[in-house]
Structure 1
Amino acid sequence: MKKPFRLRFEAKKNRLKRHADEVLREIGRALLLTGGIAAVTALLLFGFDLTIRSSTLSIRETVVRGCKELTEKDILTLAAIRPAANILTLNPDAIARRIRTNPWIREVFIGREFPDRLVIVIRERKAVALLQKQGGLYLLDSNGAPFKRMESGDEPNLPVLTGLVREGITDEALVMKSIALLIYLADAKDIPAIGAVSEVHGNETFGLSLFTETGLCLQLGFDGYENKLKRLIPVMADLDRKNMKTGFLLIDLNDPTKINVQQRNILEPARPVGAGKRYRM
């Protein structure tokens, strides 16, 4: 009985030894792998530290594109990029947020041109009119959004939209119709020359009236502006023959069956403070 017991004991001891050797090998592999990962990580960190400290990737030139109303200096001031900043560690989103604080900015794109150039591309809002509201004039974009109050340094040569804000409430529908009318007039080739538009006046009962710097007042109503303006062709030709185009004229185009023309002797309206030469209030 002793011999089998001794054999079983020896076998068990050998199995434990083999298992211990396997455990030690696994531990060795794990330590080696951990050491390798640590070495690679340290090498990468060291390389990254060298990269961000390298003067090769320091920004030497910042290019600004798309400026019209704003200047390159304005954009660089808003961007607030520190001198010799590293092009890799720069935060484009933060720069774009700072630039967008200016009301003229519609979109901002920040790009990197390695190794040392930063490119800032902006898209500005385009003001198409001025809106009279709350005792001041506000710049409107093509979507009818007032994005900036006109200040003393602003000199946009734009028509003024009046009568569209009543008791603090803006008539959005008439604002959009006014803007659509102005955009149409800017490119229209099939209507007579009426001069530059100085004012578009809105009335909730009578619709839109258009004033020009030549003295015309065109009553247009609420719709069909293109066809109504085309009806001016024979009227303006007749007024030209009668030498009546130089006075202040009120032309009512609302009635589809007739056109009423009245000559009015009126004084030129007073201009608002800070308005340009084409503002009419």
Structure 2
Amino acid sequence: MQSLYGNLQYFRIHEIEVSGCVMTTPAALRKFADISYELNMLSIDPDAMQNRLLKHPWVAGAAIRRIWPDRLNVVIREYRPHALVVQEDKDGFEYLDRKGTVFATVIPGQDIDFPVISGLDAFDTEAEKKELLNVATSFLSLAARNNPNLPTQNISEIHFSSDGELILYLVDHPFPIYFGKGEIKRKYYQLRDVLGVLYRKKRGVSMIDKVAYIRMDYQKNKVLVAKNQAG
């Protein structure tokens, strides 16, 4: 059938509908995947188109359906940024989604109001880096519940030491919070409660203003809150 009807004008694509675009645009995706009105409904390869679309840094999923006689329906699912990753061997920041997938380099003008994950450069293998990114995304998933004492909006940086220990920095206070390794969920809730106490004001002054650092791995089920010299 393709050899007989492949060139008939009747089977030329007259309408291409692309939906699901937020960061991308239908025109850009059509060009990226070589989807044009010059194509023929009988000769196109939807699977090949889908594979080309999936190579776009913002496309996490794609589905293509022919609607006879002359329409092509393209539905894409974009990645959603959850954090930024910074590595010395990369050109600028990269976006990270909720599943720990690094998917696109940030370009000028794009949103960078996300927590930053750093320290991955100290690790050689992709498996090690992936494991640390999973730890970071687990923590951010807890913070996404937006408890007022520890919401995502107040997380500035998640840094990993050369030993793989997590160090947290808040937006409103620059002191380090040492998480150590493991038990992220327990430590998150513990820190949330500690911050709730520290944010309280006494005589108009919050105790958190006098904190030098916090150690979540001080002792089992114990937290060390160290005061600065002024406190």
- Which of 135, 139, 144 is equivalent to 1:177? 135
Which residue of structure 1 lines up, in the alignment, with residue 206 of structure 2? 244
Q: CA deviation at 1:58?
A: 2.7
Task: List per-residue Cα deviations over 1:38-66 (Å, max 9, x = no partner).
Answer: xxxxxx799x43x75143x3322111122
Larger-Rg structure = 1
- Structure 1 vs Structure 2: percent identity of aligned residues? 24
CA offsets per residue over residues 113-162 of structure 1, 9 Å max, x none? Answer: 11221011112223322222115322233443433333334333221111
TM-score (norm 2): 0.78
CA distance in 1, matches of 2:75, 2:133: 30
CA contact (8 A) 1:139 1:149 kept: yes
The structure in which a higher percent of residues are helix is: 1
**CA offset digits 1:171-218 (Å, max 9, x no partner):** 3322221111112211265x7345521110111447111112111532
Aligned to 2:217: 254
Q: Is the CA contact (8 Å cut-off) linking 2:139 and 2:188 kept in structure 1?
A: no
Tell me how far apart the structure 2 counterparts of residues 99 and 84 of structure 1 sit (CA, whole Å).
18
Report the 3-state secondary structure (helix = DSSP H, G, I; strand = E; otherwise coil) of the residue aligned with 2:86.
Answer: strand
Deviation per residue, 1:235-262 (Å, 9 max, x gap): 5235413332663742222223532223
Stretches of 4+ moved more than 6 A in 1?
Answer: none
Whether 1:214 and 2:172 are equivalent positions in the alignment is yes
Choose from 57, 79, 86 the match for 2:40.
Answer: 86
Distance in 2, Cα, partners of 1:253 & 1:141: 26
**Structure 2 Cα separation of the partners of residues 94 and 219 of structure 1:** 48
Separation (CA, whole Å) in 1 of partners of 2:2 and 2:60: 39
In the other structure, the counterpart of 2:187 is 228
1:146 aligns with 2:102: yes
What is the TM-score with the length of structure 1 in the denominator? 0.65
Is the 8 Å Cα contact of residues 215 and 248 (structure 1) preserved in structure 2?
no
Structure 1 residue runs of 5 or longer lacking an equivalent are: 1-43, 266-281
Q: Residue 53 of structure 1 aligns with which residue?
A: 8
**Aligned partner letter, 2:143:** L
**More strand, by proportion:** 2
Alignment of 1:101-180 (within 5 A): 101-133=55-87, 134=89, 136-166=92-122, 168-169=124-125, 171-172=128-129, 173-180=131-138
> Does structure 2 conserve the Cα–Cα contact (< 8 Å) formed by 1:192 and 1:230?
no
CA RMSD of aligned residues (A): 3.0
